[in-house]
Structure 1
Amino acid sequence: MKRSISPLRELLSTIQHANTGLIQEKTLRYFGDIYDHVLRVTDSLDSYRERIAVIQDVYLSSISNRMNETMKILTIFAAIFIPLTFLAGIYGMNFEYMPELKWRWAYPALWLVFIAISIGLVLYFKRKKWL
């Protein structure tokens, strides 16, 4: 819209300041009035453009904050499950000489380790006020 109005402003300014004698003094006052209106419209457009930029910045900031919260939760879940996945991967290997595989309480002990790691990480995150 500003691209449409800017040439009009320049044209009206030229008409107002040109002393060709083709335009009567009474008509020049109307051109001056139109010129003032065009100036107000361009000032309003500039003001609206600035407001829109501020509103857009606020909107993008709120989206960024929401995305950061989501990423924080995903990171916490990943931090809890990565050590568990590592241990499950080690004990999922098909090695013949893993002494703890022959222990009677190896499976429940591994579950206790999993639970202890999970609870420990959750407590750590709560202490840091990340949860």
Structure 2
Amino acid sequence: MTSAGVPPATGGHQHVVTGVLYAASFLLELTMLTVLALSGAAVGESLLVRVAAGIALPVAAAAVWAVWMAPTSTHRLANPRRLVAQVGLFALTGLLAAGLLAPWVGAAFFVAATLVFGELARREKR
């Protein structure tokens, strides 16, 4: 304890921040799937096209994520290649959302996801 009664700074704070980043990354992955489903549902005039795109877009993204980016994947890309692939997927999602839903939705998703995953990649390098 310091003279002010506060424990000295330790690595505990870093673990909390990293935990928050991992929780945010998981929520952003789920958000990506939701935004892709909503974007797909906004495509075209036909109900069949909307349903097909609303299902196909998040399924395709989940498949790509599962093979090359998921922590348990046997083919997981190493950073920085994984971060580049993630940012590419975030950019595609953001562009679809900006064009089909609202520009602020696409921009907000892209910025938030890129910042969180970029920081996780930076911490992984340590």
| Larger fraction in helix | 1
| TM-score interval, smaller chain | 0.3 to 0.5
Taking structure 2 as the reference length, the TM-score comes to 0.38
Is the radius of gyration larger for structure 1 or structure 2?
1
Taking structure 1 as the reference length, the TM-score comes to 0.37
